[in-house]
């Protein structure tokens, strides 16, 4: 049993080595509120979002993530609010995060706005030791963790216009020990720092074709710097296709369809560029977003972010 627990430790160390302690998203540009509370209400619409990600398909105990969020501006004020629920499963662990976001936006120029956000999170962490197949079921030296509660707070800033954005955020300021069995500490949630930026270029006079390069940097103490670089093209504001590269980790392809004025469907596929590629068939991510617009039924910002 102890050998299997050490294997579990090694698996978590590998995940931490990829800078993945928070749930990871390839299409983060559509789910920005998960990492930056200042994003709440920035699209000028009531936005409902749902995502499912299955990572490293074929690898036993690989991460699975489900995310659901709602965010909206508050009437004609400078405030925005959001609520999100994230379920993250890795091996014998099952983690749920319920977050509430509040943002405040100020106009800094005719084109740009600066938003400040705070995030409050309730975390419930579960560890099922029996999923490690112990030789002696119910061994008292190994205990399950059932809905271990821990609170957290985060903050972010988001400077944006209709064509550009820069965001800096720390979703969780409080470091939390997830499991400590005497001399064995499974892992510790450390502070994650995010820096993101993107710009939308019109490639023709009629604005039928748009191009958006973007970058997301993530820094965690004790893990290599993670950098995601992406390039997306939008055609006729209906169809999006793009590619992304996670530095020293994976290569991704993305497609999206604006089914109706309010409904958007997106899909992403990742393929590892490391030796981990030999043990899985890639990662899949699919999401739906529905938005209710108040300004004559039209969106006030590009659908890229």
Asked if residues 25 and 51 have their Cβ atoms less than 8 Å apart, the reply is yes
Q: Where are the domains of the chain?
A: 29-292
Q: Residue 302 has which token pair?
A: 């590009």
- What is the pLDDT at residue 118? 98
Rounded to whole angstroms, how far apart are CA atoms 224 and 222? 7
Beta bridge partners of 115: 105, 158
- What is the pLDDT at residue 4? 45
Q: Flag residues of the chain having pLDDT under 70.
A: 1-21, 133-145, 178-188, 294-303
Task: Look up the pTM and report it.
Answer: 0.85
Topology of domain 29-292, CATH = Porin (2.40.160)
Rounded to whole angstroms, how far apart are CA atoms 169 and 195? 7
- What is the pLDDT at residue 293? 76
- What is the pLDDT at residue 14? 46
CA 74 to chain centre: 24
Q: Give the DSSP letter string of the chain.
A: -HHHHHHHHHHHHHHHHTT-SS---TTGGG-GGGT-GGGTTTTSEEEEEEEEEE-STTSTT--EEEEEEEEEE-TTSSEEEEEEEEEEEETTEEEEEEEEEEEEEEE-SSS-EEEEEEEEEEEEEEE-GGGG--SSTT-TTS--EEEEEEEEEEEEEEEE-SSEEEEEEES--S-EE--EETTEE--EE--EEEEEEEE-EE-STT--EEEEEEEEEEEETTSPPEEEEEEEEEETTTEEEEEEEETTTEEEEEEEEE-SSSEEEEEEEEEE-SGGGGG---EEEEEEEEEEE-STT--SS-TT-
């Amino acid at each position: 049993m102890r050998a299997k627990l050490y294997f579990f430790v090694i698996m978590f160390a590998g995940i931490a080595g990829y800078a993945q302690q928070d749930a990871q998203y390839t299409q983060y540009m559509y789910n920005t509120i998960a990492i930056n509370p200042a994003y709440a209400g920035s699209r000028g619409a009531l936005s409902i979002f749902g995502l499912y990600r299955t990572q490293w398909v074929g690898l036993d105990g690989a991460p699975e993530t489900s995310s659901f969020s709602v965010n909206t501006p508050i009437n004609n004020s400078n405030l925005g609010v959001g609520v999100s629920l994230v379920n993250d499963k890795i091996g014998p662990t099952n983690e749920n995060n319920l977050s509430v976001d509040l943002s405040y936006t100020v106009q800094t120029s005719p084109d740009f706005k600066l938003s400040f956000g705070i995030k409050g999170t309730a975390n419930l962490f579960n560890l099922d030791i029996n999923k490690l197949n112990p030789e002696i079921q119910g061994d008292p030296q190994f205990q399950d963790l059932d809905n271990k509660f821990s609170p957290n707070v985060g903050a972010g800033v988001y400077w944006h216009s209709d064509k550009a954005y820069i965001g800096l955020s720390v979703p969780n300021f409080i470091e939390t020990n997830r499991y400590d069995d005497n001399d064995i500490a499974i892992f510790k949630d450390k502070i994650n720092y995010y820096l993101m930026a993107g710009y939308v270029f019109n490639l023709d006079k009629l604005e039928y074709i748009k191009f958006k390069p973007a970058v997301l940097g993530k820094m965690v103490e004790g893990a290599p710097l993670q950098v995601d670089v992406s390039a997306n093209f939008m055609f006729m504001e209906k169809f999006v296709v793009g590619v992304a590269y996670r530095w020293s980790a994976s290569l991704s392809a993305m497609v999206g369809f604006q089914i109706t004025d309010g409904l958007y469907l997106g899909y992403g596929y990742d393929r590892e560029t490391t030796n981990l590629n030999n043990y899985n068939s890639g990662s899949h991510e699919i999401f739906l977003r529905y938005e209710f617009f108040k300004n004559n039924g039209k969106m006030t910002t590009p659908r890229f972010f």
